């Protein structure tokens, strides 16, 4: 529970730190203006920061009749509302409603992923690969792209380390949402060779350095493609590999 709460707070902070920084800069600017144009130029900086905060939060302070402090009394609350309302409050709203508006929260979660794995097209082949990979690396961050709903529940996975985007794996926007630019590994396991190859080309344009494994029913296609000359792109044919494993098993039994 504590680990989950800490993870959520880290995700929230990664989304709002720019807004918090802008708010601090707004208070610093306010303190400087009060120092230069306020009624009490000899007031210390700590009190000036407090007064600047009071101005931003529409609390009454003695600003006299000078034009700059009067303008600040109008402008700073607007600046605070824009900075905090658009950033911090919106993010906390997404967090509080994450079970209802799941995709918005998932987008925030995936932005924090680095060196994660993306799997596109989670059919029977993808399921078997997932089971094996999670068994080997239970703590890995994982993004699944598949058009079916309820995939995580179907696979018996929780959404602490795994995110599912329900969409078209060939859609560039969906690939960007999966944070392909920061991914370490992409596995394409759809049942159509043409779809897997199309997505492989698109991923190559987004992130030329990521390692990609592409499922092909027709293994001979790999030799005819430009992708085959990319050292980080690999092809695998389940039928070919299954045949090799079965034949090896048969031969070992016959020898025995």
What are 156's two structure tokens? Answer: 């018996």
> In terms of domains, do 19 and 126 share one?
no
Domain membership flag for residue 255 = no
The dihedral formed by the CA atoms of 97, 98, 100 and 101, expressed in degrees to the nearest 10: 100
DSSP state of 167: S
Domain membership flag for residue 72 = yes
Residue span of the structural domain in which 69 resides: 2-96
Domain membership flag for residue 68 = yes
- How many Å apart are CA 202 and CA 171, to the nearest integer? 9
Domain membership flag for residue 101 = no
> In terms of domains, do 138 and 209 share one?
yes
- How many Å apart are CA 193 and CA 201, to the nearest integer? 12
The predicted model scores a pTM of 0.74
Please give the biggest Cα pair distance in the chain. 101
DSSP state of 88: I
Specify whether the CB–CB gap between 186 and 120 falls below 8 A.
yes
3-state secondary structure (DSSP) of residue 101 = coil
Domain membership flag for residue 107 = no
Domain membership flag for residue 15 = yes
Q: Per residue of the chain (256 residues), what is the pLDDT tens digit?
A: 666 677 777 777 777 788 889 889 999 998 888 888 877 767 888 888 888 888 888 777 766 667 887 888 888 888 888 888 777 777 777 777 777 777 888 888 898 899 999 999 998 888 888 888 888 888 889 999 999 888 888 888 876 778 999 999 999 999 999 999 999 999 999 988 889 989 999 999 999 999 999 998 876 666 656 676 788 888 888 767 666 767 776 777 666 4
> In terms of domains, do 67 and 123 share one?
no
What are 137's two structure tokens? Answer: 């690396």
């Amino acid at each position: 529970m504590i680990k989950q709460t800490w993870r959520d707070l880290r995700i929230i902070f990664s989304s709002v730190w720019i807004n918090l920084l802008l708010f601090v800069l707004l208070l610093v600017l306010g303190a400087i203006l009060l120092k230069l144009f306020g009624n009490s130029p000899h007031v210390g900086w700590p009190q000036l920061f407090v007064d600047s905060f009071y101005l931003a939060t529409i609390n009454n302070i003695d600003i006299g009749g000078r034009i700059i402090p009067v303008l600040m009394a109008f402008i700073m609350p607007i600046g605070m509302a824009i900075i905090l309302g658009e950033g911090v409050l919106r993010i906390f709203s997404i967090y509080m409603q994450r079970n209802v508006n799941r995709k918005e929260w998932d987008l925030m979660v995936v932005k924090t992923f680095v060196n994660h794995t993306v799997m596109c097209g989670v059919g029977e082949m993808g399921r078997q690969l997932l089971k094996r990979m999670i068994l080997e690396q239970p703590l890995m961050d994982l993004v699944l792209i598949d058009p079916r709903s309820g995939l995580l529940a179907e696979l018996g996975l929780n959404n602490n380390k795994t995110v599912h985007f329900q969409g078209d794996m060939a859609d560039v926007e969906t690939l960007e949402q999966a944070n392909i630019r920061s991914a370490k590994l992409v596995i394409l396991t759809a049942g159509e060779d043409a779809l897997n190859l199309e997505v492989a080309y698109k991923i190559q344009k987004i992130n030329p350095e990521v390692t990609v494994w592409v499922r092909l029913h027709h293994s001979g296609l790999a030799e005819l493609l430009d992708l085959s000359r990319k050292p980080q792109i690999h092809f695998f044919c389940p039928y070919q590999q299954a045949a090799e494993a079965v034949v090896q098993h048969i031969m070992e039994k016959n020898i025995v």
